């Protein structure tokens, strides 16, 4: 990428987008500054003995807001992590939680590391030591600051974090709620791994329930048969692409990864490709698509929906003009820079913004945290009761109509919801409501013309109300 075009940093970019929303609002400037400020940032450097040698690791945890507690946000392991990025991501978490009515403040963490260079045991040692630093400095606990997975981390790391906290504070009855995204057998919740990708699917489904919005994006009809390009087939991208193609009939025409891109206009089978990546560690030599070395160029290929699900700053001043998608759904955080956003808006490309689109993860993390502090799996008290009620209902229907209900319908009527059903239904409801809130802002404000600004207005109004109701302490 050329170094000639100077763009704002990720944090500046988020702030500029927020400023655009604040300009469209009648907001006390003092409250606006309070909302935008990052409350605290911790930087730690700690030594770990690896293969007989001492290595010093650098990590951060930023707390953007504490108007609601705990503050919530993922921890990423990446060789390019820095404080600016962590602060930007923490700010996004504040706005994201408010958009989807999750009663948390915003936080984010990162460790400067390439996890691919370390063995499992070494990563465990590093993660436990990082956890110790965060806990000792007051940046991790079930009631104040709760991490989750992000790039380079997953269930395994979350289990190590929870276990380390438990050993430090065995008397804390809620210890397991100190982190979310854990394996189900260690206090996690069904449906958390798929949650962000699932949320992307629900967000797009809701978009297609509004024909005016679909028309605004120069499309028509339903999601079925729409051509989709996905950048990044990690946790978020894989689940989004899988659900959209297998359940909604969309066609994934290209997948971009760090080592190139695959193109097939008739559709790429996501499960096959996922298996290929597991087997070979690369998308190269996948037999059912054409390989293209220059992945970034494929972002510019014609499609209905472009889903960047990898990294920030992928659509910039350099390539925004060449983007041909009609709808961009920001599964990643910050994939579009501020300047690119302005260009895309002018081109009439609709953007479903990150602060809403990828909120499925934090929404289900909220469910997991509630499950942890209530010490009970969702559905445990009600499932059999629902089954009994459904059976009574079916019997009465048969009695009144004199007709036998088919086995298929009877089993649908009598089935009690398990935890996964409840999580998916809660997530679907959250994504639908939040989209409708954002849409309402766009329809009712003359000075709001895009979904990102509308999302920030909706979010900042809620945060400002919380500051004004309680006052500044």
- Is position 109 an interface residue for ligand NAD (rule: CB under 6 A)? no
Residue 81: is it exposed, middle or buried by C-beta count within 10 angstroms (0-12/13-18/19+)?
A: buried
How far is residue 303's CA from residue 218's CA, in Å, rounded to a whole number? 12
Residue 329 has φ and ψ, to the nearest 5°, of: -115, 115
CB-CB contact of 194 with 239 (8 Å): yes
Q: Looking at 233, 329, 351, 431, which residue binds ligand NAD (CB under 6 A)?
A: 233
Q: Closest separation between CB of residue 66 and ligand NAD, Å?
A: 21
How far is residue 17's CA from residue 91's CA, in Å, rounded to a whole number? 12
Q: Looking at 65, 94, 107, 358, which residue binds ligand NAD (CB under 6 A)?
A: 358
- Is position 152 an interface residue for ligand NAD (rule: CB under 6 A)? yes
Q: Looking at 38, 361, 442, 458, which residue binds ligand NAD (CB under 6 A)?
A: 361
Q: Looking at 75, 81, 158, 310, which residue binds ligand NAD (CB under 6 A)?
A: 310
Looking at 96, 108, 182, 242, which residue is catalytic?
Answer: 108
- 181 versus 339: smaller Cβ distance to ligand NAD: 181
Q: Looking at 94, 235, 337, 459, which residue binds ligand NAD (CB under 6 A)?
A: 235
Footprint of ligand NAD on 238-257 (CB under 6 A): 256-257
- Is position 333 an interface residue for ligand NAD (rule: CB under 6 A)? yes
Q: Closest separation between CB of residue 229 and ligand NAD, Å?
A: 11
Closest CA to 133 of 156, 159, 110, 115: 110
Q: Which residues fall within 8 angstroms of residue 185, CB to CB, at 6 or more apart?
A: none
Piece in contact with ligand NAD (CB under 6 A), picked from 213-221, 229-237, 406-414, 463-471: 229-237
Residue 301: active-site member: no
**Which residue's entry shows tokens 């500029």?**
16
Residue 54 has φ and ψ, to the nearest 5°, of: -90, 125
**Which residue's entry shows tokens 């024909």?**
211
Q: Looking at 147, 234, 353, 379, which residue binds ligand NAD (CB under 6 A)?
A: 234
- 81 versus 454: smaller Cβ distance to ligand NAD: 81
Q: Looking at 331, 340, 352, 451, which residue binds ligand NAD (CB under 6 A)?
A: 331
Footprint of ligand NAD on 47-86 (CB under 6 A): none
How far is residue 431's CA from residue 419's CA, in Å, rounded to a whole number? 18
Bond prior to 223 in cis (omega within 30° of 0): no
CA dihedral sign, ordered 320, 232, 356, 227: positive
> Cβ-closest residue to ligand NAD?
234
Which tokens in the block code for residue 262?
A: 């695959």
How far is residue 261's CA from residue 256's CA, in Å, rounded to a whole number? 4
- Is position 353 an interface residue for ligand NAD (rule: CB under 6 A)? no
- Is position 188 an interface residue for ligand NAD (rule: CB under 6 A)? no
Neighbours of 220 (CB within 10 A): 8
Q: Looking at 332, 343, 352, 454, which residue binds ligand NAD (CB under 6 A)?
A: 332
- Is position 236 an interface residue for ligand NAD (rule: CB under 6 A)? yes
Enumerate binding residues for ligand NAD (CB under 6 A).
Answer: 149-152, 196, 231-237, 256-258, 295, 309-311, 331-333, 358, 361
Residues designated catalytic: 108
């Amino acid at each position: 990428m050329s170094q000639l075009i100077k763009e704002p940093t990720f944090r500046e970019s988020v702030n500029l987008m927020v400023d655009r929303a604040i300009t469209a609002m009648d907001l006390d400037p003092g409250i606006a500054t309070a909302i935008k400020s990052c409350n605290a940032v911790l930087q730690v450097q700690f030594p770990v003995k690896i293969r007989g040698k001492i290595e010093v690791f650098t990590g951060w945890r930023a707390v953007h807001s504490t108007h609601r507690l705990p503050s919530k946000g993922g921890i990423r392991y990446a060789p390019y992590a820095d404080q600016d990025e962590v602060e930007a991501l923490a700010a996004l978490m504040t706005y994201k939680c408010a958009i989807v009515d999750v009663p948390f403040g915003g936080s984010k963490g990162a460790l400067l590391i390439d996890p691919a260079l370390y063995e499992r045991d070494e990563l465990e040692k590093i993660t436990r030591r990082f956890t110790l630093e965060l806990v000792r400095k007051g940046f991790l606990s079930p009631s104040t600051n709760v991490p989750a997975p992000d790039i380079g981390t997953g269930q395994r790391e979350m289990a190590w974090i929870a276990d380390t906290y438990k050993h430090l504070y065995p008397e804390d009855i809620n210890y397991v709620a100190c982190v979310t995204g854990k394996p189900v057998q260690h206090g996690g919740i069904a449906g958390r791994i798929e949650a962000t990708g699932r949320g992307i699917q629900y967000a797009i489904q809701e978009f297609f329930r509004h024909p005016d919005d679909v028309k605004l994006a120069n499309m028509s009809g339903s999601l079925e048969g729409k051509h989709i390009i996905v950048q990044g087939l990690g946790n978020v991208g894989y689940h989004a692409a899988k659900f959209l193609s297998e359940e909604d009939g969309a066609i994934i025409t290209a997948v971009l990864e760090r080592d190139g891109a695959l193109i097939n206009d008739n559709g790429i089978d996501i499960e096959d490709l996922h298996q290929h990546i597991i087997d070979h560690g690369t998308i190269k030599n996948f037999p059912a698509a054409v390989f293209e070395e220059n992945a970034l160029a494929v972002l510019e290929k014609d499609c209905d929906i472009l889903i960047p699900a990898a990294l920030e700053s992928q659509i910039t001043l350099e390539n925004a003009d060449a983007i041909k998608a009609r709808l961009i759904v920001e599964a990643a955080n910050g994939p579009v820079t501020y300047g690119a956003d302005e260009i895309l808006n002018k081109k009439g490309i609709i953007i479903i913004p990150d602060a809403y689109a990828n909120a499925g993860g934090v929404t289900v993390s909220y469910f997991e945290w509630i499950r942890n502090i209530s010490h009970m799996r969702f559905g445990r008290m009600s499932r059999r009761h629902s089954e009994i009620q459904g059976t009574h209902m079916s019997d009465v229907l048969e009695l009144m109509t004199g007709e036998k209900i088919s086995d298929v319908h009877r089993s649908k009527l009598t089935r009690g919801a398990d935890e996964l059903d409840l999580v998916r239904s809660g997530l679907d409801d959250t994504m639908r409501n939040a989209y409708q809130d954002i849409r309402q802002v766009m329809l009712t404000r003359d000075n709001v013309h895009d979904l990102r600004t509308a999302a920030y207005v909706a979010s900042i109004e809620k945060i400002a109300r919380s500051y004004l109701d309680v006052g500044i302490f």
